[in-house]
Structure 1
Amino acid sequence: MSAPQSHVDPDHVYDVVGVGFGPANLALAIALDEHNEAAAPGERVTGLFLERKQTFGWHRGLLIDGATMQVSFLKDLATLRNPVSRAGFVSYLHERGRLVDFINQKTFFPTREEFHDYLEWAAGRVGHLVRYGSEVTAVRPVTTDGQTRLFEVAVRGGDGREVVHRARNVVVACGLQPRLPEGVAASDRVWHSGELLHHTAEFKEGAAPARFVVVGAGQSAAECAEYLHRTYPSAEVCAVLSRFGYSPADDSPYANRIFDPEAVDVYYAADDRVKARLMDYHRNTNYSVVDLDLIEELYRREYAEKVRGEQRLRILNVSRVTAVRETADAVTVSMTDLATGEQRELDADAVVFATGYAPHDITELFGGGCGLLRDEEGRLKVRRDYRVQTDPSVLAGVYTQGGTEHTHGITSSLLSMVAVRAGEILDSILRDGAPADDRPAGTTADDRPAGTTADHSPAGTTADDRPAALSGAHE
């Protein structure tokens, strides 16, 4: 059987190709589009964004009814970069006819459902820059005379054909991947919290579940416990925590400065010892912490059930899950009491692991031939403007939106910085982008993306997850 053929568009080189189209690259697409609206024809930037999913989506499995954002609506996709942007949350409210109604709520924190609708609305504004159903399989250097001035971005087509786009700069925003404990595999009864709503929909159609186990101590864990307890009134919900109980997020004004754009400058300039200390000081703004209102609601429910003598919400604290074993009609969860060493087992209809996310290793896309540099600990070396440091022979740009916690701090995976970071990346591309003399004949900087022509359209699926940003404090 012959190998699938590659189709390379020889007549177009993009200034920017974005891999993944979650909030981070969506913010960049908005910044690019606004730049092009204001720029002279010869100063416009050509861009294309490739997304694995068929439509825009962001943490759909956690769009729990009534759950609110942990970030101010002013930290949207554009406002901190351009306060008069037409892609901001206020413009969205105005267009939807809800601006006054939202103001009357007197809140900075919209529901997650509404913010997702805002993201979809914003994605629709720059739809001409995006190709959905496009799975990026590799990014390869194009080397001439020992120098890499372009990258080829390979996309798998639905017919097995490889479609290749050429770019002077590649911006990778593959988001985060769900993290499960070692030895645990996702299944119909073992879920990551990010898939909660997708799986619970199946239970609503069958027999009523008797027991759920939720593992974790952060915002997502508490939200899952609350949702399952509320949605299944006959089911027991067991929350397994290694601590005594849920800890509140520090969302006080001074602590929130760790999310300021200026904090990135401070963190980036600090040595590793100071960086570690800052992360340790401010872990309680984002990691394994829960909104106080939600903690108090869960405690009220637990206490009310004790009064009635019919407890459904059980907090199994100072405990750790050690094994999960599935049977035909249940899952058995083994756990250890960390104080006494006592072992216990629970049979459940499903177990939910709210155990966080891990960044994708973007070098998997690039293979070993793109000259990406690493530090002594094997981490990517990244400039302040989010451009990955490369071998001197690589003149084309590689930018990463995510996976920069070690260089840029706590906001690496959060929504707080997406607008500002998008502006910084675009400024860097405009300042340091590959020379214009490598444009193919007949191509100019203001060419529109070729994605509107059918013969260049991939029909496959791009590695793209989303910034988690769901477990942060009220920034």
Structure 2
Amino acid sequence: MSAREHEIYDVVGIGFGPSNLSLAISLEEHRANVLTNPITSAFFERQPRFGWHRNMLLPSATMQISFLKDLVTFRNPVSRYSFVSFLHASGRLAQFVNRQDFFPTRAEFHQYLEWAESSLSNVVTYSSSVTGIRLPPEVAHDRPEYLRIDVTDEGGGTRTVDARNVVISTGLVPRMPDGIARHERVWHSSEFLSRYGRTEPGDLKRVAVVGAGQSAAEITKFLYERLPHAQITAIMPSYGYSVADDTPFANQIFDAGAVDEYYFGTERARDAFWRYHKNTNYGVVDDAVIRHLYEIQYEEEVRETKRLHFRNLTKVSSVEHTGSETRVHLVSQLDGPQPFLDVDAIVFATGYDSLDPSRLLGDLDRFCLRDESGRHRVERDYRLVTTPDLPIGIYLQGGTEHTHGLTSSLLSNIAVRSGEIADSIIQRRAERELIPAGALQAADS
């Protein structure tokens, strides 16, 4: 395929969402400061173009983090890839400041990500899925210096590239309740806007939304406002929406220094992190959205009309399709089975499962060490702990909540996290170049 096909890259990134985009910027800024022998990299992304949660770019939905927690600022405040640089380039810096708001809309932040990506299109190949990572045949019985990456494009064409380090950032996997599959009338929030856009609004007279987190509340609000003729039912396992704790002391959980506190802390300390601060991010909703939905409910009480319905302490037990009908079976934690609910569409905002590298690693997974709970062990620099037989760096951007805490896959720490991975790769290369391979083998024997 490409002349680059047989080059050995210092870094191959699998996936090109915000995390690996931030890493690519960090490596690019390192290259700009190095006169000779710069770090080489290539990234592969299965999507046809850059995109980050496109199906949740709801009108007026805002980010839940400050604009300063962009791709670079906490690592390099003078980077040309900052959100402030984007605003300046877009001619909106003064207007944004006049808003007096730390939180841009999600749509504008996505514009920023696309703007940053546009300067790095030379390092990423889209419509390309990495199907496996393996030892090259010629080094299968030795300590390898690189791994072979198998890549398939959208037309079925294949290629291989070699990497001295691999950074896996394939994102989160949408989670559906057990026994419930996606369908033309059963959606996950990760596909919401595309599904909604392919459906005639007039055909949506009865819609249900399952979940009690930010996405569920935002979709419920969106549907109520966009479908004035429809009955909207919010089904949640809790008694109501819980507010996200974004107060200053709680927000310290997302500081870069908190990663060290978590990583090097005792099991008791780690448990306290989750017990006391899970409500900063998981299963919670911004205060403004909660108040807006409650105001709708109250106004409907005053007008003696009812279009927005809340099924609290309730779960979906099953969904069945009969002809053109979709029937939802419910179970209340108070009263047991409930009358079924017929819907034209139901949206499951039921979250995501974290990244699991095992599928991609395949046979290489046997070199990766695990803890007592069977989870991958991970170094502080986000590198998988491997046996001496595999000295190559395999880094994770996500899937490290058990070792690095709440910020493992979040934007809050993206600049520092990606910078630490880049620094680790650069440092390990410097150490490798100073020590001849024969000396390494002698030291191991």
- State the TM-score, normalizing by the size of structure 1: 0.88
- Counterpart of 1:96 in structure 2 is 90
Q: CA deviation at 1:360?
A: 2.7
2:255 corresponds to which of 260, 266, 278: 260
CA distances 1:440-470 after superposition (whole Å, capped 9, x unpaired) = xxxxxxxxxxxxxxxxxxxxxxxxxxxxxxx
Confirm or deny that 1:415 pairs with 2:376.
no
My pick for the range that moved more, 192-201 or 258-267, is 192-201
User: SS at the partner of 1:221?
Assistant: helix
Structure 2 distance, partners of 1:427, 1:437, is 17
My pick for the range that moved more, 113-122 or 149-158, is 149-158
- Counterpart of 1:210 in structure 2 is 205
Q: Is the 8 A contact 1:210 1:235 kept in 2?
A: yes
Confirm or deny that 1:403 pairs with 2:415.
no
Q: Is the 8 A contact 1:261 1:417 kept in 2?
A: yes
Structure 2 distance, partners of 1:281, 1:405, is 15
- Counterpart of 1:155 in structure 2 is 151
Confirm or deny that 1:435 pairs with 2:428.
no
Structure 2 distance, partners of 1:227, 1:330, is 23
- Counterpart of 1:447 in structure 2 is none
Q: CA deviation at 1:10?
A: 7.1
Code of the residue aligned with 1:163 in structure 2: it is R
1:304 corresponds to which of 299, 303, 323: 299
- Counterpart of 2:175 in structure 1 is 179
- Counterpart of 1:295 in structure 2 is 290
Q: CA deviation at 1:158?
A: 4.3
1:189 corresponds to which of 178, 185, 188: 185
Q: Is the 8 A contact 1:9 1:164 kept in 2?
A: no
Where do 5+ consecutive residues of structure 1 fail to align? 1-5, 440-475
Confirm or deny that 1:122 pairs with 2:126.
no
2:67 corresponds to which of 67, 73, 78: 73
User: SS at the partner of 1:186?
Assistant: coil
Q: Is the 8 A contact 1:323 1:335 kept in 2?
A: yes
Structure 1 distance, partners of 2:357, 2:141, is 26
Where do 5+ consecutive residues of structure 2 fail to align? 437-445
Q: CA deviation at 1:274?
A: 2.1
Q: CA deviation at 1:122?
A: 0.6
Code of the residue aligned with 1:364 in structure 2: it is R
Structure 2 distance, partners of 1:150, 1:103, is 47
- Counterpart of 1:27 in structure 2 is 22
Structure 1 distance, partners of 2:244, 2:5, is 52
Q: 1:325 to 1:438 in 2, by over 3 A?
A: farther
CA distances 1:258-305 after superposition (whole Å, capped 9, x unpaired) = 000000000001122321221111011111110011000000011111
Q: CA deviation at 1:8?
A: 9.9
Work out the number of aligned pairs and report it: 432
Structure 2 distance, partners of 1:188, 1:430, is 47
Code of the residue aligned with 2:79 in structure 1: it is S
Code of the residue aligned with 1:358 in structure 2: it is D
Structure 2 distance, partners of 1:406, 1:415, is 17
Q: CA deviation at 1:324?
A: 0.9
Aligned-residue CA RMSD in angstroms? 1.8
Code of the residue aligned with 1:162 in structure 2: it is T
User: SS at the partner of 2:202?
Assistant: coil
**RCO greater where, 1 or 2, for CA within 8 Å and sep 6 or more?**
1
1:369 corresponds to which of 361, 364, 378: 364
Code of the residue aligned with 1:173 in structure 2: it is S
Q: Is the 8 A contact 2:6 2:162 kept in 1?
A: no
Structure 1 distance, partners of 2:3, 2:179, is 42
Q: Is the 8 A contact 1:337 1:343 kept in 2?
A: yes
My pick for the range that moved more, 63-72 or 271-280, is 271-280
Q: 1:82 to 1:265 in 2, by over 3 A?
A: same
Q: Is the 8 A contact 1:330 1:350 kept in 2?
A: no
Q: Is the 8 A contact 1:208 1:232 kept in 2?
A: no
Q: 1:9 to 1:36 in 2, by over 3 A?
A: closer
Structure 2 distance, partners of 1:222, 1:326, is 26
Structure 2 distance, partners of 1:261, 1:326, is 48
Q: CA deviation at 1:7?
A: 9.4
Q: Is the 8 A contact 2:133 2:364 kept in 1?
A: no
- Counterpart of 1:442 in structure 2 is none
Q: CA deviation at 1:426?
A: 0.6
Q: CA deviation at 1:319?
A: 1.3
User: SS at the partner of 2:164?
Assistant: strand
Q: Is the 8 A contact 1:8 1:165 kept in 2?
A: no
User: SS at the partner of 1:239?
Assistant: strand
Structure 2 distance, partners of 1:160, 1:250, is 47
Q: Is the 8 A contact 2:231 2:308 kept in 1?
A: yes
Q: Is the 8 A contact 1:229 1:235 kept in 2?
A: yes
Q: Is the 8 A contact 1:8 1:164 kept in 2?
A: no
My pick for the range that moved more, 55-64 or 303-312, is 303-312
Structure 2 distance, partners of 1:341, 1:57, is 42
- State the TM-score, normalizing by the size of structure 2: 0.94
Q: Is the 8 A contact 1:381 1:388 kept in 2?
A: yes
Q: Is the 8 A contact 2:69 2:413 kept in 1?
A: yes
Q: Is the 8 A contact 2:5 2:160 kept in 1?
A: no
